[in-house]
Amino acid sequence: MSLPISISARAEQDMTLQYRWYLENADEEIAERYLTAVHETIHILAEKPDLGRPRHFTAPELSHIRSIQVRRPFDRHLLFYWDDSTLRIERVVHGSRDLPKRLLEEPDQP
């Protein structure tokens, strides 16, 4: 059974900023493929939310958050989420970022 999906405004903004980055630095096809990969990953998680790994950040706001790589070829991006009765997508960020800091900040650039 698939969980209902909720995508936070911050995750939506993360995806929009990254999409725009791909438009400016690659092309529209790559930007569209990025969004497709993110949405495919989300739908896979809705079916199997335990696929992602638990994260252990010290910030209490991030307790019980999990992450999974976005589908290839965008697997350097991580999707952060909580799962209970709903799959709650919190952020979509590049894995090379300072993750504990970045997850608590507002999105401002990809």
Q: Using 50, 70 and 90 to split pLDDT, how confident is the model at 18?
A: very high
Residue 96 burial by CB count (10 A; 0-12/13-18/19+): exposed, middle or buried? exposed
Q: Are strands 87-94 and 77-83 parallel, antiparallel or unpaired?
A: antiparallel
pLDDT at 109 over 60: no
pLDDT at 110 over 70: no
Structural domains of the chain ordered from first start = 5-94 (3.30.2310.20)
Report, as an integer, the average pLDDT of 19-30.
97
Report, as an integer, the average pLDDT of 36-59.
95
Average pLDDT, the chain: 92
Return the DSSP state at 61: G
